[in-house]
Amino acid sequence: MKDDLRAVFMPRFIDTARARLERAALLLARRDDNALAGELHALGGEAAMLGLEEFADSARGGEIGARRGDLAACQRSLRTLGESLEQVVARGGPGGAP
């Protein structure tokens, strides 16, 4: 993907991802596993299309944990995703400086 397209969509991805992670944390607290899995699936798809493969894999891991009702896996996934998102922000997206 061209860097200019990344530049256009990365800020929106970051905003969307933050909102999805906030919703995911609430859904985890409520133990709404199906809705949590859906939220993480959507997040993973958006990340994948932007070339954020590790982020997408983490979201996929959380989604699988949610579908299995694995609370610990979901907690680990949300923590990892939060940290990964802040790394994406810090380097200005996948095309930014490491």
Partner 1 sequence: MTTTGRKQVLLLDDSALTLDMAKTVLEAAGFGVLTAVDLAALEGHLARSKPDLVLLDVQMPEAFGDDVGMVLRAVKGMQVPILLVSSLGDTELAQRAREAGVDGFISKRAGLDALVERVCAILGQGPRQP
Residues that bind partner 1 (CB under 8 A): 1, 5, 8-9, 12-13, 16, 38, 41-42, 44-46, 48-51, 53, 56, 60
Our CB check for partner 1 shows the closer of 12 and 72 to be 12
Minimum separation from the CB atom of position 3 to partner 1 (A): 12
Q: Looking at the chain, which runs of residues are DSSP E strands?
A: none
Our CB check for partner 1 shows the closer of 19 and 72 to be 19
Our CB check for partner 1 shows the closer of 72 and 93 to be 93
Closest CA to 91 of 4, 7, 31: 7
Minimum separation from the CB atom of position 45 to partner 1 (A): 4
Rounded CA-CA distance 62/9 in Å is: 24
Our CB check for partner 1 shows the closer of 60 and 72 to be 60
Structural contact between residues 94 and 50, judged by C-beta atoms closer than 8 angstroms: yes
Minimum separation from the CB atom of position 70 to partner 1 (A): 19
**Backbone φ, ψ for residue 28 (5° rounding):** -65, -45
**44: how many CB neighbours lie within 10 A of its CB?**
22
